[in-house]
Amino acid sequence: MKILFVRHGQTDLNNPRRMQGISDLELNEIGINQAEIVRNILEKYNIDFIIVSPLKRAIQTAQIINTNMHKKIIIDKRIIEMNYGLLEGKKYLPDYWDMDYDYKSINGENISDFQERIYNFIDEIKVKYPKKTILIVAHRRCIKNFQMLF
């Protein structure tokens, strides 16, 4: 199995950098251009299908990338970004990236629950699609966690 990971393009919460989490925003003009650039790069790969987070910014990125490939897009809620609770939309601070930060205490998602759903997703696709090339369009924290597994 081959997996290609792509982070969604830019939204208005990415610049200036804010805690976006599960906030469901579409790509801005820069994000659309970024997705088009990635589309041109990925056209040389023999991708079997695309798995994407259910958030608009990820779906829009996947659709742009898929413009010429015409591959099946599968939406999987397990790769939605982490819920940052009351920090959603707030200015990003490096302390918030700490893997021990307690988002659950501010109506967000527990880090271990987030990691469990990400790892469950990867374990499932490894068994289900052992000979496929898969493009996963997701989010920063998801991709960082995927990297820890490979």
Over the stretch 58-86, which tens digit does the pLDDT of each residue have?
999 999 999 999 999 999 999 999 999 99
Q: Between these two residues, 78 and 92, which has the higher pLDDT value?
A: 78
Measured between alpha carbons, how far is 146 from 133 in angstroms, rounded to an integer? 16
> Mean pLDDT over residues 116-145, rounded?
94
CB 85 within 8 A of CB 109: yes
**Which range, of 11-20, 50-59, 75-84, averages the lowest pLDDT?**
11-20
pLDDT of residue 150: 67
pLDDT of residue 45: 94
What the block records as the tokens of 36 is 């088009």
Considering the candidates 8, 36, 43, 109, report the single residue annotated as catalytic.
Answer: 8
Considering the candidates 26, 43, 81, 116, report the single residue annotated as catalytic.
Answer: 81
Instruction: Look at residue 141 and tell me whether its pLDDT is greater than 90.
Output: no
- Return mean pLDDT, the chain: 92
Strand 72-75 and strand 49-52: the pairing is parallel
pTM for the structure as a whole: 0.93
Q: Residues 94-108: pLDDT tens digits?
A: 777 666 678 888 899
> Mean pLDDT over residues 30-48, rounded?
96
Domains in the chain, ordered, with CATH? 2-149 (3.40.50.1240)
CB 103 within 8 A of CB 110: yes
Q: Could you say which DSSP state residue 10 is in?
A: -
Is-catalytic flag, 8? Answer: yes
> Mean pLDDT over residues 42-70, rounded?
97
Is-catalytic flag, 81? Answer: yes
Whether the upstream peptide bond of residue 16 has omega within 30° of 0, thus cis, is yes
